[in-house]
A and B are shown apart, each in its own frame.
Chain A
Amino acid sequence: MVDRNDPDVALMLRVKEGDLSAYETLVEKFKQPVMNLVYRLINDIDEAEDIAQNVFVQVWKTRERYEPASKFTTWLFTIARNLGLNEIRRRTRHPADSLDEPRPDSESQPLRVVEDVSSSIPTDAALSGELRSKVEEALMDLPEKQRTALLLCREGGVSYEEIAEVLGGISLTAVKSIIFRGRAVLKNRLKPYLKSGEWQKK
């Protein structure tokens, strides 16, 4: 059982009571990690946003069933992964479906409003464009479990125990092995860049 005084758990317990302002705080706090995970799971920015919104709607709909048996993020990322996997399965079944068609209920509104990325993401502080795209590419080519595990590691503050739970209750050894395999594959794919030291350029 997780400490009920954990800020996220405390917020979620307020949401459970129907507190909409606590819910808004949760959405604001976790929209970015959820978007990061979902987008890199399905590799489609528009669909990722719909799914990420759906993740939070699910949190609201199922709030009464929430029990602080584990960290809030474990629950949240589990929902995010499940909805992402559903989308992957849906695409496998209906590969010809267009994801870009506007929905009939939103014809009068812009489909989405995206921040000016160039101003919000300091690209010069991270990776060069080419290396970044190579890393993204290598990440996308990983099997889903390895990718999810590495992405959760990337979020920080997500323990191996939590990752094990998000991945469907697998063992800690399995988690370590999955993460190690993922890293090994990435290391193999990115070897030329690692050796050239390009990652150090800013």
Chain B
Amino acid sequence: MNQSEFDNLLKTALERDLTDAELASLENWLAENSTDQAEWEVLDHLLAALPDTPVATNFTARVLDEVCSVEAAQPVLGQAWWQRLLAPQFRPIQIAAAATLAMVIGGVGYQSHLNQSRAEMAAAIVSIAEFTPVFLADIEAIEAVAQADVIDEELWAALK
């Protein structure tokens, strides 16, 4: 690499990222050319000589205060997420969750009760159906008696 190639690479660097090969060439060039190396070091010197940004004297105290208030707001930091939900600040969520749970349990219980009633009714129908033919036969005999002709009173008296 020569000086003009180095200068060209500098221009290229302003336009795009350099490749591995280009970077290696640059590093080699800088290692061998003290003038360019010195300019590079001047830049580093300028950056290093920038003053530190002023920091408030109470910076650390304010950070510690903030951390303490975070701790106070989250006393259950080490607990599992579901345990944190038991904290007082989640009271509305807890009430809503309890109400939902009660409704679900009530719904399931009511449904179970309905199912049981239906099963009992079905069992009753089955048991009635089992002796219905006999019952119906008796009904027919009774109906037959009820539908008999009116007694012939004279014949009845003669038979006596």
Interface residues of A (CB under 8 A from B): 20, 23-24, 27-28, 31-32, 35-36, 39-40, 45, 48-49, 52-53, 56-57, 60-61, 64, 112-115, 117, 120-121, 123, 126-127, 131-132, 135-136, 139, 150-151, 153-154, 156, 173-174, 176-178, 180-181, 183-188, 190, 194, 199
With A28-B60, A53-B62, A183-B40 as known contacts, state yes or no: A121 contacts B51, CB within 8 Å.
yes
With A187-B43, A199-B45 as known contacts, state yes or no: A49 contacts B55, CB within 8 Å.
yes
Q: Is the CB of B57 within 8 A of A115?
A: yes
Main secondary structure of the interface of A (DSSP, over half): helix
With A173-B23, A180-B18, A194-B39 as known contacts, state yes or no: A35 contacts B55, CB within 8 Å.
yes
Q: Is the CB of A49 within 8 A of B56?
A: yes
Binary interface encoding of chain B residues 46-90 relative to chain A, with 1 for a CB under 8 A from any of its CBs, else 0: 111111111111111011101100100000011000000000000
Q: Is the CB of B63 within 8 A of A177?
A: no
Q: Is the CB of A184 within 8 A of B47?
A: no
Taking CB as reference atom, which chain A residue is nearest B26?
Answer: A180
Residues of A within 8 A of B78 (CB): 64
Residues of A within 8 A of B10 (CB): 184, 187
Q: Is the CB of B42 within 8 A of A199?
A: yes
Residue pairs across A and B with Cβ atoms less than 8 A apart, 16 shown, are A24-B64, A32-B53, A48-B53, A52-B59, A57-B70, A114-B56, A115-B56, A121-B54, A127-B50, A135-B50, A173-B23, A181-B14, A185-B14, A186-B46, A186-B47, A199-B42
Residues of A within 8 A of B66 (CB): 53, 57
**Cβ-defined partner of A24 (8 Å) among B13, B18, B46, B60:** B60
Q: Is the CB of B64 within 8 A of A20?
A: yes
B73–chain A nearest beta-carbon distance, Å: 11
Say yes or no for B32: interface residue by CB 8 A criterion. no
A127–chain B nearest beta-carbon distance, Å: 5
